[in-house]
Amino acid sequence: MTARTIDRDTAKRKPAAKAKVEAIAKAKAVVPGVAARIGSTPKTKFRGDPDIFGRLVEDHDRHRALLAMIEETEGKSPDRQALFKELVKELKAHAAAEEQALWSSVLRDPETTDFARHAIAEHKEIDDMLGDLAARDMASPGWLRRFAALKEEYLHHVGEEEQEQFVAAEAHLGATDVRYMRRVFNRRKKEEKAAARVERKIKLKP
């Protein structure tokens, strides 16, 4: 048994189900009256983990809930606007903090460089999709279709992270690294979210 495994076993770890419920509750706090039907989520050993990977999965579950809640809204309603604004700020802040806390270190290891580059490239794609959605009429028939494409891309992205990229990164990081990365992530995300703005940029074809 490695020192990292022992550290994980003795650390304060939340049950996965409880961690998921708490993450969804944070999304629900934005608009309490809208349902958050996220359904089943990909299996991951990191949910409830006290270190960086568990913290990232916590955000992923929060974002899954926001995406599901937006689908429950209609037209250009105040609920849809509030939820979309929260989603944009969350995804922008999460991506920036994740890149600094985790991927900047992982990039330096030749064995995990490709995983890091792939994750960062998908962050850019998702940001472009958010900007495109923000620039279009929420009440138009095409908005939900474009939103569905964003949701599909995001769920694919976090599924890859949780089941492949985090696993590969974890194998090359020590217990001290992942504890430190969580602190960096929390600090950077708070700063990024406070500064995040909804940017309207049509970049995709009609």
pLDDT of residue 202: 82
Query: How distant, in Å, are the alpha carbons of 27, 118, 162 from that of 124?
Result: 23, 10, 18
Residue 1 reports pLDDT greater than 50: no
Model confidence over 51-104: pLDDT tens digits? 999 999 999 999 999 999 999 999 999 999 999 999 999 999 999 999 999 999
- Using an 8 Å Cβ cutoff, are 44 and 162 in contact? yes
In this predicted structure, the answer to whether residue 8 has a pLDDT above a threshold of 50 is no
Average pLDDT over residues 33-60: 96
Question: 202: how many CB neighbours lie within 10 A of its CB?
Answer: 13
Closest CA to 94 of 162, 14, 29, 190: 190
Band (pLDDT 50/70/90 cuts) for residue 205 is: low
The model's pTM is 0.91
